[in-house]
């Protein structure tokens, strides 16, 4: 299931609608599996197991019901879209149906998206503090490679590489060979460092940080007001 009229339904920062739908539907499959487990012979005779399953079911059910409502409303929206394409000239009532279903889908999609974030199902959509520290450092200091970055932000090289790859996947950083940077660090042993793969901030990365700072300034203004 994709977005509406060529636009994203969930408005994810990095993940497509297809991936977000799959994460949502996986929760429904987990809930249905719990129902099956609870119905299996012998489960009812195990109070501890029943308690564990009931707690998990209680946690999943509200979100699953919301996801199922979104699915239903989205199917109705697609049906109206199909009817409109078949008609020569859609009437006012049909256009009103389309607008109502579209508005309802957008409201539900926002609720589902936020709930999935809260549940930790969309980790790729969130920059943790370390990701932001690395992004801000590279914006300030310029292109850097994993080993030097690990020293500057006081983390292991392995962790630095992990964060760099994540920011690379999100399009906030890009790789650049050292020999493309010229005498970047202006060190005596620059020739040795030219063989490293560097990471530099992209236009999207700069825009992201700019937007983040703007939001923080607005938040501070609201708090002071």
For the chain, state the CA radius of gyration. 24
So what's the pLDDT on residue 190? Answer: 44
Regions of the chain with pLDDT less than 70: 1-6, 87-91, 179-195, 221-225
The pair of three-digit structure tokens given for residue 36, joined into one six-digit string: 């099956």
Can you list the positions of beta strands (E) in 51-100? none
**First vs last Cα of the chain: how many Å apart?**
43
Relative to beta strand 173-177, strand 197-201 is antiparallel
So what's the pLDDT on residue 224? Answer: 59
Q: Mind listing the pLDDT tens digit for each residue in 51-104?
A: 999 999 999 999 999 999 999 999 988 888 887 777 666 667 777 878 888 899
So what's the pLDDT on residue 90? Answer: 64
Per the CB < 8 A criterion, the answer to whether 53 and 34 are in contact is: yes
So what's the pLDDT on residue 3? Answer: 58
If you ran DSSP here, which 8-state letter would residue 125 be given? G
140-147 own/partner pairs: CB under 8 Å, 24+ apart: 142/184, 142/200, 143/176, 143/181, 143/184, 143/198, 143/199, 143/200, 144/198, 144/199, 145/178, 145/193, 145/196, 145/197, 145/198, 145/199, 146/199, 147/196
pTM: 0.74
CA–chain centroid gap for 164, Å, is 17
Q: Mind listing the pLDDT tens digit for each residue in 41-54?
A: 888 889 999 999 99
Write out the H or E segment, with its range, that includes residue 65: helix 47-86
So what's the pLDDT on residue 96? Answer: 82
The pair of three-digit structure tokens given for residue 25, joined into one six-digit string: 């539907």
203 strand-pairing partners: none
């Amino acid at each position: 299931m994709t977005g509406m009229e060529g636009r994203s339904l969930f408005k994810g920062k990095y993940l497509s609608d297809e991936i977000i739908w799959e994460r949502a539907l996986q929760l429904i499959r987990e809930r249905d599996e719990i129902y099956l487990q609870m119905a299996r012979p012998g489960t009812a005779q195990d109070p501890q197991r029943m308690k564990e399953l009931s707690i998990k079911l209680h946690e999943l059910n509200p979100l699953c019901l919301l996801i199922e409502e979104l699915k239903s409303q989205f199917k109705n929206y697609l049906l109206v879209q199909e009817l409109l394409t078949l008609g020569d000239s859609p009437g006012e009532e049909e256009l009103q149906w389309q607008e109502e279903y579209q508005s309802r889908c957008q409201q539900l999609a926002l609720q589902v998206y936020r709930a999935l974030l809260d549940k930790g199902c969309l980790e790729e959509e969130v920059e943790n503090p370390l990701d932001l520290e690395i992004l801000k450092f590279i914006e300030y200091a310029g292109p850097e490679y994993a080993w030097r970055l690990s020293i500057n932000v006081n983390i292991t090289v392995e962790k630095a590489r992990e964060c760099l790859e994540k920011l690379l996947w999100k399009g906030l950083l890009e790789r650049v060979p050292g020999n493309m940077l010229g005498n970047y660090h202006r060190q005596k042993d620059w020739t040795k460092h030219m063989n490293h793969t560097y990471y530099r901030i992209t236009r999207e990365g700069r825009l992201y940080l700019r937007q983040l700072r703007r939001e923080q300034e607005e938040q501070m203004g609201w708090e002071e007001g």
